[in-house]
Amino acid sequence: MAFLPNSLVTLALLSILACAAQGQLSASFYSTTCPNLQTVVRSAMAQAVAKEPRMAASILRLFFHDCFVNGCDGSILLDDTPTFTGEKSAGPNANSARGFDVIDTIKSQVEAACKATVSCADILALATRDGVNLLGGPTWTVQLGRRDARTASQSAANSNLPGPGSSLSTLISMFAAKGLSASDMTALSGAHTIGQAQCQFFRGRITGGDTNINATFAALRRQTCPMTGGNSNLAPIDVQSPIKFDNGYYQDLVGRRGLFHSDQELFNGGSQDSLVRLYSTNGAKFAADFAKAMIKLGNLSPLTGSNGEVRLNCRKVN
């Protein structure tokens, strides 16, 4: 910087310091400390998704459930211990959140390439992006530099995550509480274009609880989700293409084939109807908005700098 006037040098230094003080994430965070990071994560996810395409969905959901509970800090990955009850056993996650073993596999490969350098929270953010893209969805630049929490909050997991019976106003306010707009919420809900759900979460809707439902669709779902029993029987959330990341979810909603009550709330005569209609016919617009909203989701209250730690094993604090 010898050729720059002093004032410019000072300005550059000040802005670097300001970045650090605000704890901002950066795309190049590991470019010198772990240059192969993104290649390692991508190929591990490619393997996992080839073995089981649903895994892309399961990892995406883990990321959402991590970020919505005190920020994207890998807290959902911590195992319960005799003296600590974390997020894994919270209502929205118990017997439902999955993919932890895949995160462990990626973490051990990343540790082999770059010891004690990359946080579990960042690995989850990268794996999520790659899973979406591997199923045909968009890609985006993942901001990095998150650190891992030393704790987790079961009560926050129970109160901050929306449930499948939520109304539109509840959904909007729960996302607003995280600084996400109603449009962000509608775009992020397009994640339900992939993955599976258990009967217990949509039984009410298909057995007479909802009027805004296509009768043929309800009858189809009742074949494997009876009035009693079969609580954990699975059904695709997007009836059309559950292993393709496309705009089929919004077409389902317009056809009143949303699986959860909460899904159909986005197209039930309310404020999100027009956006749902737009996404149902314009897959490229959905893909672009989804990517933008995922970056916002990933920026929720990260631990940075010397806060938290880089966990060596994603399941336990160092």
Footprint on this chain of ligand HEM (rule: CB under 6 A) = 54, 57-58, 60-61, 64, 96, 98, 162-164, 166, 171, 188-189, 191-192, 194-198, 201, 237, 260, 262
3-state secondary structure of 187: helix
Residues catalogued as catalytic: 65
3-state secondary structure of 84: strand
Whole-number minimum distance, CB 176 to ligand HEM, in Å? 12
* CB neighbour class for 90 (10 Å; exposed up to 12, middle 13-18, buried from 19): buried
Whole-number minimum distance, CB 8 to ligand HEM, in Å? 42
What is the 8-class DSSP label of residue 144?
A: B
150 or 296: whose CB is closer to ligand HEM? 296
Of 266, 258, 272, 242, the residue nearest 202 (C-alpha): 258
CA distance 301 to 70: 7
60 or 152: whose CB is closer to ligand HEM? 60
Distant-in-sequence, close-in-space partners of 247: CB < 8 Å, separation ≥ 6 = 190, 193, 279, 280, 281, 282, 283, 286, 287
Q: Determine contact, residues 318/312, Cβ cutoff 8 Å.
A: yes
194 or 253: whose CB is closer to ligand HEM? 194
Whole-number minimum distance, CB 278 to ligand HEM, in Å? 18
CA distance 83 to 316: 12
Of 56, 45, 47, the residue nearest 37 (C-alpha): 45
251 or 262: whose CB is closer to ligand HEM? 262
CA distance 250 to 277: 7
92 or 308: whose CB is closer to ligand HEM? 92
Whole-number minimum distance, CB 233 to ligand HEM, in Å? 10
Q: How many CB atoms lie within 10 A of CB 109?
A: 16
Tell me which residue has tokens 């800090």. 73
Whole-number minimum distance, CB 168 to ligand HEM, in Å? 10
Whole-number minimum distance, CB 163 to ligand HEM, in Å? 5
60 or 110: whose CB is closer to ligand HEM? 60
